[in-house]
Amino acid sequence: MDASALEVDGLVRHFTAPRGRGTVRAVDGVSLTVGRGEVVGLVGESGSGKSTVGRCIVRLDTPTAGTVRIGGTDITRLSPRKLRPLRKDFNIVYQDPSASLDPRMRVSRIVGEPLTLHRMASGSELRERVEKLLGQVGLPPGTAERRPHELSGGQRQRVSIARALAVDPMLLVADEPTSALDVSVQASVLNLLADLQRDRGFGCLFITHDLAAVEFLADRIAVMYLGEIIEVAPAADLFAAPKHPYTQALLSAVPVPDPPVQRARQRIVLQGDLTGPVFPKAAGTAQTVDHCRFHTRCPLAVERCRTQAPEHRTLPGANGGRMVACHLVADDGTAPDAAATAHSGT
Residue 284: predicted pLDDT:
38
Query: Which has the higher per-residue pLDDT, 282 or 218?
Result: 218
Residue 184's pLDDT band (cuts 50, 70, 90): confident
pLDDT at residue 58, rounded to an integer: 96
Q: What is the pLDDT of residue 260?
A: 55
Confidence check: pLDDT of 23 > 70: yes
Burial of 332 (C-beta count, 10 Å sphere; 0-12/13-18/19+): exposed
Closest CA to 336 of 288, 296, 300, 283: 300
Segment 139-167 shows an average pLDDT of: 95
Q: What is the mean pLDDT of residues 44-53?
A: 92
Residue 321 CB contacts under 8 Å (≥ 6 apart), including other chains? 314, 315
Instruction: State what percent of residues in the chain have pLDDT above 70.
Output: 88
Average pLDDT over residues 148-173: 96
Mean of the per-residue pLDDT values for the chain? 88
User: What was the pLDDT predicted at 346?
Assistant: 45
Main-chain dihedrals φ then ψ at residue 196, nearest 5 degrees: -65, -40
Separation CA 247–CA 150 (nearest Å): 41
pLDDT for residue 1 is more than 60 = no
pLDDT higher than 50, residue 258: yes
281 band by pLDDT with thresholds 50, 70 and 90: low
* pLDDT score at 265: 58
Alpha helices of 58-119 — where are they, by DSSP H?
A: 80-83, 97-100, 107-117
Taken in order of first residue, the domains within the chain and their CATH numbers are 6-218 (3.40.50.300)
Task: Answer whether 231's CB lies under 8 Å from 241's CB.
Answer: no
pLDDT at 340 over 70: no
User: Bigger pLDDT: 259 or 208?
Assistant: 208
Helices 153-165 + 123-136 axis angle, to 10: 130
pLDDT reading at 275 higher than 80 = no
Residue-level pLDDT at 21: 73
**So what's the pLDDT on residue 278?**
61
Q: What percent of the chain has pLDDT over 90?
A: 71
Whole-number pLDDT of residue 84 = 94
Least reliable range by pLDDT among 5-9, 117-121, 194-198, 256-260: 256-260
